[in-house]
Structure 1
Amino acid sequence: MATAIREVGVWRQTRTLLLKNYLVKCRTKKSSVQEILFPLFFLFWLILISMMHPNKKYEEVPDRELNPMDKSMLANVVLGYTPVTNITRNIMQKVSSDHLPDVIITEEYTNEQELIASSLSKPSNFVGVVFKDGVSYELRFFPDTVPVSSIYMDSRAGCSKSCEAVQYWSSGFTVLQASIDDAIIQLKTNVSFWKELESTKAVIMGETAVVEIDTFPRGVILIYLVIAFSPFGYFLAIHIVAEKEKKLKEF
């Protein structure tokens, strides 16, 4: 019996509260209209922003095998190396005579600083080789020829035709590296591995279908969501304060 009375009391209170809120909304038509129109206005802009900046969808990309290593990629290349020793001279002579006889012009530099200074006045087909010892070296290409960073992070939109990492293959970087490596191996062991190195294949790994989300429009949308529903909190706070003031006056 007590439970039934309590349920009736809760329902009566809820109905009375809803009726009271309805009457308040009817009496404050201006604020009620604002409470409805402001969120609708902001939601309209949210929809417009979403339509202007849709998510980028990319289909699945299969693996793609690149063309075999081609020595013609190094046509008219000017190859400078340092330091000049019997070992480095033999390595570069073997590269020029055995692997790249028609496409390489070699120049000798006494030190790395001289090579760098000379490269400033050279065209973009200049490549520097800095030997650290008899087996290790560094290749110095111009920045627009090979990727500047070994870590490449960018949108797939910029990789639709030719990814930046492929420049290592298309610029002749790999061919030159393989030629120098084989020359070093041949001088150390009297055995050539050029056929094995020349048969190296490169494959651009495929990617699954993805949806790329632009972070800036999403951030704007989140801010607009907060603004869109702020009128509800604003008018609710006004009604609560007004109710409290009314009770204080009655007290």
Structure 2
Amino acid sequence: MGEKQHSVYLSQLKAMLKRNILLKKREKRKTTAEVLLPLYSLSILIIMKLVLPNPNLPEIDTPRGEAELLEHFRMLNNHTIAIVPNTTQTMEFLRKVTSLWDSINNGRNISMITWVPFETEKDLLRAYWMNPESIPIAVLFDDPGPIEGQLKYEIRTNPSLYATPPTTSLYSSELACRSTAKEWYTFTGVLPAIEGGDSCPVNQYYFSGFLALQALLDYTKIRLPPRPKV
């Protein structure tokens, strides 16, 4: 019984193969298309792979250069910082920030921080629109103040000088934060018109003085003696 079933399967297989071979011979155009079309598509893909640059960016597993947090902030010629509000406690806190700045520089020939106080945010905006270049960066403190209360503030940079990235934009273009176009060319063999690492949006926090000012304010607050418990 088993040998008979095996013989039937073989005969059916032979008949099916013979039928398909005859069909392929009769429909030569269709058979040719079935063979050449996959080869044509594969050739197009191979050519595109060779011509187009590699879409896979190289892995960055080592630091891209070194930079000190306050280095660029020291090089700025203008250390003018607008302050809101103009209160006794705020100005006392800023004097401590200035003292910290002087101690960090340790006698270097660097311009002092000039605090320009404003009573309200409206006063700050009015002064900015009258002369935008006079206010490169501003700090707005929340009540009750940075000494007695918690340190809550908002740093605003001048968009005409250094525009920090919007907080609603979480990502930049894939190539914006790469080191240089030269490295991209070394990796791909193709030099497209791409952005270099200098245009990485997050770097504007460093170049604008945002990070330096934030560090000075936070560190000054940390150095304050704890308030006595009531």
TM-score normalised by the chain length of structure 1: 0.61
Deviates more, 1:45-54 or 1:16-25: 45-54
Q: Does 1:159 align with 2:178?
A: yes
Q: Gaps (5+ residues) in structure 2?
A: 103-109, 147-151, 180-196
Conserved? CA contact 1:74–1:103, under 8 Å: no
Question: Is residue 132–residue 158 contact of structure 2 (8 Å, CA) maintained in 1?
Answer: no
SS in 2 for 1:159: coil
Q: Which has the larger share of helix?
A: 1
Q: Residues 140-188 of structure 1: CA distance to partner in whole angstroms, max 9, x if unpaired?
A: 11354434338446536623245543443443223222333344456x5
TM-score, reference length from structure 2: 0.66
- How does 1:26-175 map onto structure 2 within 5 Å? 26-51=25-50, 52-63=52-63, 65-67=66-68, 69-70=70-71, 71-96=73-98, 99=101, 102-120=111-129, 121-123=131-133, 126-133=136-143, 134-135=145-146, 136-143=152-159, 144-149=162-167, 151-152=170-171, 154-155=173-174, 158-160=177-179, 161-162=197-198, 163-175=200-212
Residue 74 and residue 91 in structure 1: after superposition, are their counterparts in 2 closer, same or farther (change >3 A)?
farther
Deviates more, 1:22-31 or 1:97-106: 97-106
Equivalent in the alignment of 2:184: none
Do residues 189 (structure 1) and 225 (structure 2) align? yes
Equivalent residues of 1:75, 1:103 under 8 A apart: no
Q: Distance in 1 between matches of 2:164 and 2:172?
A: 15
Helix, strand or coil for the counterpart of 1:158? coil
Q: Which residue of structure 2 aligns with residue 22 of structure 1?
A: 21
Alpha-carbon distance change, 106 to 68 in structure 1, aligned in 2, over 3 angstroms = closer
Q: Is the 8 A contact 1:73 1:172 kept in 2?
A: no
Unaligned runs of 5+ in 1: 191-251
Partners of 2:119 and 2:176 lie apart in 1 by 44
Q: 1:178 to 1:35 in 2, by over 3 A?
A: closer
Larger radius of gyration: 1
Q: Count matched residues.
A: 188
SS of 1:76 mapped into structure 2: coil
